[in-house]
Structure 1
Amino acid sequence: MPTDQIDFSKELPLVFAEFHRINNVNLRNQFYKELDRHTPKLITLFRDKATKTGKIAEQLAKLMRISDLQEQPDVNMRRALVLYALPVYLREDASKFFRTCNSADGPDLTETPVALLTVVTDDTADAALFSPESISIVVEDEILVSGPTNLADSFLLLFGYVYALDLQYPKNLELTFTFIQKVVMCLEDNKPLKGRLLTLKTDLFNV
């Protein structure tokens, strides 16, 4: 690990503490409680959309196929599926946020303000989305933290960094991060939800 890279295990409680100081919310507990509560309905919505026609449906269908092929699906894989599929469903481009690289190659992180970098191997690139070699948090073109191979934990820590370091949401993922903020973390900013996000929230809470 490079000397200027932060130790994940030591950084995690610090980020959680700072997030709690800012929002008076337990980041880990709130994130997983609400994400897990909404996951079944979200996956149902994603699967339904995947049966339609068009580019969005094709992308969702591909994620569903990869997820379904996992030998031992568990809660972490379902969380990862939701986090990967959410921006697709909201018609946002996550290609500059969910970055991948081969373990033998150094990634080009130029113009990468905020991202999650997943290390994969050539022969398992698709499957490794759910069981990667490692996941790193990238801030301002640099790998800040290399943490667990659990996408949800890495996303959680990055979301905490956004608040702790006063970062902007990724430019192309404003709806996705706003969903995490308002629906998952229940953090309001008194701004109305935009069309696609409002529709998703309505569908999600429509019993």
Structure 2
Amino acid sequence: MDTTYALRRQEIVGAVVAPRVRDVVDRWPALLIESQVVAEFHRINNVNLRTQFYKELDRHTPRLITLFRDKAIKTGKIAEELAKLMRIYDIREQHDVNTRRALVLRALPVYLREDASMLFRTCDSADGPDLTDTPVALLTVVTDDTTDSALFSPESICIVIEDEILVNGPTNLAESFLLLFGYIYALDLQYPKKLELTFTFIQKVVMCLEDNKPLKGRLLTLKNDLFNE
């Protein structure tokens, strides 16, 4: 994969018409292996995807949860959605690092007033919902159809790209999100239109990948709140 990297990027990024993801992974099946997605991300950005993601996500998690709690006690639809997530989190007997990460990743788009319903999909079997018009998604398969199960106890999490299940990701939500983020770079995909703030936050604040574009609006406010406690 190292020796064929330049050719692969030319085929993915340099093509006049972007190839279908299925065609790309059929030609480069190693991209279906988690370790190779992480390696490809490093080739593109010279950043260790897993190390950077968890280091910065965990660093910001306490402050983010505080911001979510402060918002949850106010009024309005966003406050209600955050309050629901916080209640589910609070009633759990054990709050380990994985549950905290899952909470932050699910609450972040809510806090930024974005619609994550097409990203975080849930079903009770792997052949569950209609995936038409689903550019990217994390499809959580559960046996117990509750928000608690979807958040913290999934049976599996499938990574969906271009309307089909590409791989079965880790059952850990943060790890599956990390892998999806890696695929976005490895396959040169666009961020979901309704979640540009969320993914830009991951890109710039968590992964520290700059694109020389200034942060605006809600995202700038969130970043200032994080760093100016």
**For each residue in 1:74-108, what CA deviation from the matched residue of structure 2 results, as whole angstroms up to 9, or x when unmatched?**
10000000000000000000000100111275221
Q: Find the residue that maps to 2:203 and give its secondary structure.
A: helix
CA, structure 1 residues 100+124, in 2 after alignment: closer, same or farther (shift >3 Å)?
A: closer
Alignment of 1:176 with 2:198, yes or no, is yes
* Greater Cα radius of gyration, structure 1 or 2: 2
Alignment of 1:27 with 2:49, yes or no, is yes
**AA of the residue aligned to 2:148:** A
**For each residue in 1:10-47, what CA deviation from the matched residue of structure 2 results, as whole angstroms up to 9, or x when unmatched?**
71110111100110000000000000000000000000
RMSD: 2.0
Structure 1 segment 81-100 matched on structure 2, within 5 A: 81-100=103-122
Instruction: Give the Cα separation in 2 of the matches to 1:25 and 1:118.
Output: 28
Structure 1 segment 1-207 matched on structure 2, within 5 A: 11-103=33-125, 106-121=128-143, 123-128=144-149, 129-207=151-229
- TM-score, normalized by length of structure 1? 0.93
Instruction: Give the Cα separation in 2 of the matches to 1:112 and 1:195.
Output: 27
Any gaps of 5 or more consecutive residues in structure 2? 1-24
Instruction: Give the Cα separation in 1 of the matches to 2:31 and 2:61.
Output: 27
Q: Given that residues 8 and 145 in structure 1 are in contact (C-alpha distance below 8 angstroms), is that contact kept between their aligned partners in structure 2?
A: no
CA, structure 1 residues 70+124, in 2 after alignment: closer, same or farther (shift >3 Å)?
A: farther
Instruction: Give the Cα separation in 1 of the matches to 2:135 and 2:105.
Output: 19
Task: Using CA pairs under 8 Å that are at least 6 residues apart, name the structure with larger relative contact order, 1 or 2.
Answer: 1
**AA of the residue aligned to 1:127:** D
Identity over aligned pairs, percent: 81
Q: Find the residue that maps to 1:153 and give its secondary structure.
A: helix
Instruction: Give the Cα separation in 2 of the matches to 1:147 and 1:15.
Output: 12
CA, structure 1 residues 175+190, in 2 after alignment: closer, same or farther (shift >3 Å)?
A: same
